[in-house]
C-alpha cells in the first residue's frame, strides 16, 4: 500500500511503473481524514517508480514522504524497502556502550566533501581514522534530497529521502551499520523549520505552511494553525523513522528557534516524549540536540519539569568567546565578546572568555549589542549538567558563512589553534570538532549549491555578492556558489595528514581527546567546577577543570596541559 495526505483536493491518482516505461495510472481512495490510499503491492515490482496526480493536473508530483528520489527532486519517487538491509548491529547499545551522546566527542561531517567521491560508501573507508582520533559520535549534515548534485543540505525538500548523489537510503543504512561496528554513534542533522525553494511541493498537498508566522526563509511550517495535527505528525514520524529504520543515535535539530508554535504544547516537547518512548522500546539511548539561538536552558530541561526535553543544545557563546579571544575579530555578533560593552563592560576578550567557559552563556539576560536588547536567561551552573551544552571552536556555519569559507587555521598559528582546542575539548561541555579542524586542513569550507533552475542559481550568486559586498568584498573575491570548483575546493585534503603542521595538530587533538576520556569519561560535569583567570602579564590564560590545568600563553602562542599522573602535554 502507498498513501498520501492531501486533504484539500477532490481527486488523487497514482502514476507507477518500472523506470523508463510509460507509467500506469490508477485512482486512490480517500478516508475522512484526507489520506488517499493505493492498495497495490509495491514489493511486487523489482523497481517501482511512482508519483501523484492531484485533481488531474500535470506534472505528477513526488511523494512528500519519499525515501528516494533517484530522478531528482522534480521527478518521481522510488519505492524503498527499509527492511532490505541486513543489519549487523544487534548488540549495539548506543554511543560509548550505552552512555549516549552527552559528554562524548562529536565530529561534524559533511559527507559530500569528506572525500573526493562525496558518498557514504567512500566515507566508510575513513571511519577507522575517526576511531583513532577518539571520536564517539559522527554528526552528519542533512541528507534530505536537494536540487542538483551537491549542496550543504539545508535546502532539502524531500525530508524523508536520502539524497541520491550521496548513495541513497541503502548506502546510508550501510554507513550507520559500519559506524556501529566500530563503536561510533551517528547523529543526523535534520531541518524542520523550513524547506528549500526549489522542488518544494509540500504546499500543493496540504496546509504544511502558514502565513500566520514568518521565518527568515518565508512562511513558517504550520505547527499551530488549522491542519497542523498532520503537519506535526509529519515531522515527528520523520524523526522516529531515522531512529527506527536507519538506526541513528541522535538528531541535531536545525534552528529550533524558527519553529514557531503557539499551540497548547510545543512541538519540541511532543517530539521529546515520542523519542523517549521509542528509546524505551528499542532499549538504547536516543538523543535530540537543538541548535537554539535563545540562550535558555528550558530547551534542555525535561518535559516533566516544564521544559522542552532536548538532550543538549549548541552553545554559540562559547564559540564566539573563543573566536574573539584568539583572532581579535569583533565585527557583527562578535562585538560583545570583545568586552568593554554594555554586555560585559569591565573586561576584555579574555575576561569574556573566562565568563563563557565558566558559565556557558554570555547573554544570560544581559544586553546584546548585536540584537539591540537584553537576551537569554540566567543559567544555574551549579545544577545544570555541563554536557548539555555542545561547545566548539568551529562549525559548518561559522566557517562556511564567511565570505571565502576560510577556516580558523587560515588566520591563526598552529599554537593559537592548539590553545582553543585545549580549552573546549577539556571543558565541561560536549565538545564538537568540525571535520578537518583536527589537522588544520588547508581546504576552506565554502558555500556551494547546484540549483538547476538558472533564475534560482543567479539569485543565490547575487545574494552572496550583495551580502559580502556590503562588508567591502568585491564580486571577484566571492567564490561562485554554483561553480563545481567551489565544491571541489571544500573537499578535505587527506594528503596533508603526514606533513607539518598538520601532523602535529592531529597528535595534539588525539592526545587531548584521550585525556578527556580518561579524566572525565561519561561523568556528569558542571560549569561551576571550572575556574579561569588571566595572569598579571595579561597574556596568559589559565583554565582548571577536574584536576587538569590548561595554561595558555597568547604572547608566544603556546599551551601546556597538566594533569595528575601523566606527563605534561605541550604545544608546540
Q: How far is CA 298 from the centre of its chain?
A: 20
Residues 89 and 247: beta-carbon distance below 8 Å: yes
Distance CA(3)–CA(440), nearest Å, equals 48
Residue with cell string 549487523: 88
Phi/psi of residue 130, nearest 5 degrees: -65, -35
What strands lie across the sheet with 35-38, from one edge to the other? Answer: 2-5, 35-38, 29-30
Q: Check: CB of residue 434 under 8 Å from CB of residue 399.
A: yes
Neighbours of 470 (CB within 10 A): 8
d(CA 100, CA 308): 19
Chain-centre distance for alpha carbon 65: 21
Please tell me whether 550 is known to bind a ligand.
no
Residue closest to 419 by CA, chosen among 508, 500, 339: 508
Residue 529 assigned ligand-binding role: no
Does 254 appear as a known binding residue? Answer: yes
415 is in an annotated binding site: no
Q: Comparing C-alpha atoms, which of 176, 173, 169 is closest to residue 139?
A: 176
Measured on CA atoms in the order 201, 203, 204, 205, is the torsion positive or negative? positive
Tell me: is residue 319 an annotated ligand-binding position.
yes
193 in a labelled binding site: no
Q: Any residues with CB less than 8 A from the CB of 92 and at least 6 apart, and which? A: 180, 247, 284
Residue 257 assigned to a binding site: yes
β-pair partners for 215 = 218
What is the three-class DSSP state of 485? helix
Q: Is 400 annotated as a binding residue?
A: yes
137-140/185-190 β-pairing: parallel
Kindly give the residue spans of alpha helices, DSSP state H, lying in 328-413.
Answer: 349-359, 396-400
- In the structure grid, which three cell numbers stand for residue 317, read together? 557563546
Q: Which three cell numbers stand for residue 56?
A: 488531474
**Any known ligand binding at 356?**
no
Which positions are catalytic?
A: 254, 291
Does the annotation flag 396 for ligand binding? yes
Whether residue 559 is annotated as binding a ligand: the answer is no
Alpha helices in 134-186, H assignment, sequence order: 168-181
Q: Is 512 annotated as a binding residue?
A: no
Instruction: Confirm whether residue 514 is marked as ligand binding.
Output: no
- Any binding-site annotation on 401? yes
CA 428 – CA 528 distance, rounded (Å): 9
Report how far residue 151's alpha carbon sits from residue 448's, in angstroms, rounded to the nearest whole number.
Answer: 6
Instruction: Return d(Cα 516, Cα 290) in angstroms, integer.
Output: 23
β-strand partners of 158: 145
CA quadruple 216, 219, 223, 225: dihedral sign: positive
Q: What is the DSSP letter of 397?
A: H
Q: Is 384 annotated as a binding residue?
A: no
Q: Which residues sit in the known binding site? A: 252-257, 316-320, 396-401
Binding site, annotated residues for substrate: 252-257, 316-320, 396-401
Amino acid at each position: 500500500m502507498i498513501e498520501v495526505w492531501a486533504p484539500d483536493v477532490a481527486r488523487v491518482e497514482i502514476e507507477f511503473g518500472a523506470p523508463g516505461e510509460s507509467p500506469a495510472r490508477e485512482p486512490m481512495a480517500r478516508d475522512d481524514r484526507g489520506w488517499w490510499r493505493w492498495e497495490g503491492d509495491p514489493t511486487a515490482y523489482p523497481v517501482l517508480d511512482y508519483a501523484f496526480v492531484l485533481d488531474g493536473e500535470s506534472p505528477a508530483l513526488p511523494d512528500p514522504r519519499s525515501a528516494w528520489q533517484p530522478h531528482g527532486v522534480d521527478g518521481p519517487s522510488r519505492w524503498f524497502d527499509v527492511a532490505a538491509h541486513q543489519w549487523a548491529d544487534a548488540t549495539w547499545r548506543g554511543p560509548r556502550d550505552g552512555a549516549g551522546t552527552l559528554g562524548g566527542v562529536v565530529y561534524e561531517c559533511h559527507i559530500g566533501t569528506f572525500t573526493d567521491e562525496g558518498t557514504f560508501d567512500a566515507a566508510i573507508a575513513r571511519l577507522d581514522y575517526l576511531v583513532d582520533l577518539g571520536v564517539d559520535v559522527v554528526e552528519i549534515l542533512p541528507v534530505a534530497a536537494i536540487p542538483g548534485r551537491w549542496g550543504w543540505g539545508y535546502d532539502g525538500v524531500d525530508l524523508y529521502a536520502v539524497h541520491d548523489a550521496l548513495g541513497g537510503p541503502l548506502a546510508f543504512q550501510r554507513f550507520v551499520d559500519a559506524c556501529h561496528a566500530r563503536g561510533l554513534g551517528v547523529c543526523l542533522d535534520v531541518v524542520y523549520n523550513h524547506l528549500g525553494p526549489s522542488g518544494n511541493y509540500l504546499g500543493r498537498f496540504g496546509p504544511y505552511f502558514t502565513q500566520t508566522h514568518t521565518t527568515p526563509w518565508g512562511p513558517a511550517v504550520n505547527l499551530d494553525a488549522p491542519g497542523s495535527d498532520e503537519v506535526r505528525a509529519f515531522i515527528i514520524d520523520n524523526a522516529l523513522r531515522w531512529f527506527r529504520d536507519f538506526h541513528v543515535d541522535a538528531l541535531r535539530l536545525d534552528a529550533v528557534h524558527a519553529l514557531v508554535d503557539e499551540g497548547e504544547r510545543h512541538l519540541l516537547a511532543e517530539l521529546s516524549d515520542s523519542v523517549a518512548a521509542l528509546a524505551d522500546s528499542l532499549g538504547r539511548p536516543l538523543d535530540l540536540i537543538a541548535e537554539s539561538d535563545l540562550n535558555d536552558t528550558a530547551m534542555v530541561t525535561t518535559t516533566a519539569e516544564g521544559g522542552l526535553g532536548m538532550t543538549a543544545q549548541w552553545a554559540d557563546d562559547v564559540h564566539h568567546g573563543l573566536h574573539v579571544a584568539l583572532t581579535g575579530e569583533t565585527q557583527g555578533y562578535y562585538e560583545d565578546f570583545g568586552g568593554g560593552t554594555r554586555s560585559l563592560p569591565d573586561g576584555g576578550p579574555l575576561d569574556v572568555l573566562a565568563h563563557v567557559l565558566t558559565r556557558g552563556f554570555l547573554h544570560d539576560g544581559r544586553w546584546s549589542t548585536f540584537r539591540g536588547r537584553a537576551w537569554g536567561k540566567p543559567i544555574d551552573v551549579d545544577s545544570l549538567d555541563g554536557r548539555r551544552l555542545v561547545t566548539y571552536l568551529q562549525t559548518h556555519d561559522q566557517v562556511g558563512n564567511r565570505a571565502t569559507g576560510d577556516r580558523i587555521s587560515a588566520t591563526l598559528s598552529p599554537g593559537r589553534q592548539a590553545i582553543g582546542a585545549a580549552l573546549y575539548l577539556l571543558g565541561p561541555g560536549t565538545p564538537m570538532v568540525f571535520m578537518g579542524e583536527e589537522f588544520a586542513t588547508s581546504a576552506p569550507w565554502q558555500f556551494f549549491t547546484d540549483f538547476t533552475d538558472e533564475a534560482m542559481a543567479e539569485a543565490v550568486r547575487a545574494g552572496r555578492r550583495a551580502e559580502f559586498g556590503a562588508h567591502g568584498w568585491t564580486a571577484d573575491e566571492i567564490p561562485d556558489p554554483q561553480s563545481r570548483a567551489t565544491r571541489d575546493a571544500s573537499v578535505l585534503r587527506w594528503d596533508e595528514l603526514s606533513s607539518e603542521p598538520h601532523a602535529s595538530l592531529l597528535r595534539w587533538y588525539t592526545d587531548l581527546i584521550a585525556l578527556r576520556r580518561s579524566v572525565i569519561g561519561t561523568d556528569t560535569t558542571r560549569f561551576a567546577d571550572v575556574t579561569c583567570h588571566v595572569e598579571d602579564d595579561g597574556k596568559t590564560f589559565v583554565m582548571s577543570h577536574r584536576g587538569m590545568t590548561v595554561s595558555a600563553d597568547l604572547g608566544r602562542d603556546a599551551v601546556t596541559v597538566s594533569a595528575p599522573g601523566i606527563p605534561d602535554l605541550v604545544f608546540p
